[in-house]
């Protein structure tokens, strides 16, 4: 009756990037057989002596060269026993963000292909990765409204209009530019730099910076970040 446990444990990463009014996800091409190619989330089996988060970092490092600005555990997928047809595998999924200015660097390590995909142009993925991705997008959307993680998707210094557009496109909502700016600025965790960005047209815009110290000060005082839309 007593049977040895024969379940593998893997980690998968959903890495989000943002550029030019588009949310991107990092996918790698997985080769099973000779003709059997599938895009999949980066990930792999956890080693015996490494922590879960270390495993994610290692896998990402092995397969890509992205520099994360944020990472958090998403969910553990283990209710579908046959999510991997070969073995019982439970996957602990992490989602992560990368700075938009680092988004162009694509690493094609060896034969493995790595590519950024627009969120609305995702192909059929391996395993239950479409499901996992869907869940990550939902979490990203939700988290964006109650924690200042949007800044992790932008370069160190950014335009207010970039932040606006980021919120608009990811949350798929209209927002009033002026009220949005007023609200964010009222929090007081943004520093205005002396730099201006190369302009395309219109009035030159100041660049802003997210100030972690100020943010943490506010948190200690009981501050609670929140962005709501109608």
Partner DNA sequence: TGTAGTTTGCGTTAATTATACGCAAATATA
Partner DNA sequence: TATATTTGCGTATAATTAACGCAAACTACA
Distance CA 70, CA 65 (A): 15
Contact 147, 226 (CB under 8 A): no
For DNA, the binding residues (CB under 7 A) are 159-161, 176-179, 181-183, 199-206, 226, 228-230
By the rule CB under 8 A, 219 interacts with a copy of itself: no
Among 45, 149, 171, 218, binds a copy of itself (CB under 8 A): 45
Distance CA 181, CA 209 (A): 14
In the block, tokens 């890509």 appear at 64
Q: State the minimum distance, in angstroms, from the CB of residue 161 to DNA.
A: 3
Nearer residue to DNA within complex by CB, 75 or 223: 223
CB-CB neighbours of 204 under 10 Å: 8
Burial class (CB in 10 A: 0-12, 13-18, 19+), 35: exposed
Query: One symbol per residue from 61 to 100: x for binding a copy of itself (CB under 8 A), - otherwise; what is it?
Result: ------------x-xx-xxxx------x-x-x--------
Structural tokens at position 210: 């997210």
Q: State the minimum distance, in angstroms, from the CB of residue 77 to a copy of itself.
A: 9
Residue 37, beta-bridge partner list: 31
Nearer residue to a copy of itself within complex by CB, 45 or 227: 45
Positions that interact with a copy of itself (CB under 8 A): 3, 5-9, 45-54, 73, 75-76, 78-81, 88, 90, 92
């Amino acid at each position: 009756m007593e049977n040895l446990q024969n379940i593998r444990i893997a980690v998968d990463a959903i890495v989000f990037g943002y550029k030019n009014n588009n949310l991107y996800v990092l996918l790698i091409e997985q080769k099973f057989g000779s003709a059997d190619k599938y895009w999949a989330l980066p990930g792999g089996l956890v080693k015996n002596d490494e922590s879960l988060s270390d495993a994610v970092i290692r896998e990402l490092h092995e397969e890509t060269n992205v520099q994360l600005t944020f990472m958090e555990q998403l969910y553990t997928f283990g209710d579908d026993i046959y999510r991997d047809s070969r073995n019982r595998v439970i996957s602990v999924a992490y989602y992560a963000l990368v700075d938009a200015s680092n988004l162009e660097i694509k690493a094609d390590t060896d034969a493995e292909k790595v590519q950024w995909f627009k969120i609305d142009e995702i192909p059929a993925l391996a395993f239950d990765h479409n499901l996992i991705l869907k869940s990550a997008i939902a979490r990203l959307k939700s988290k964006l409204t109650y924690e200042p993680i949007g800044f992790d998707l932008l370069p160190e210094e950014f335009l207010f209009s970039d932040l606006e557009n980021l919120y608009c496109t990811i949350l798929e909502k209209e927002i009033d530019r002026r009220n949005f700016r007023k609200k964010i600025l009222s929090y007081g965790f943004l520093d205005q730099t002396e730099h201006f960005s190369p302009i395309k047209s219109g009035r030159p815009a100041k660049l802003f910076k997210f100030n972690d110290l100020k943010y943490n000060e506010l948190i200690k005082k009981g501050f609670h970040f929140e962005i709501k839309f109608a």
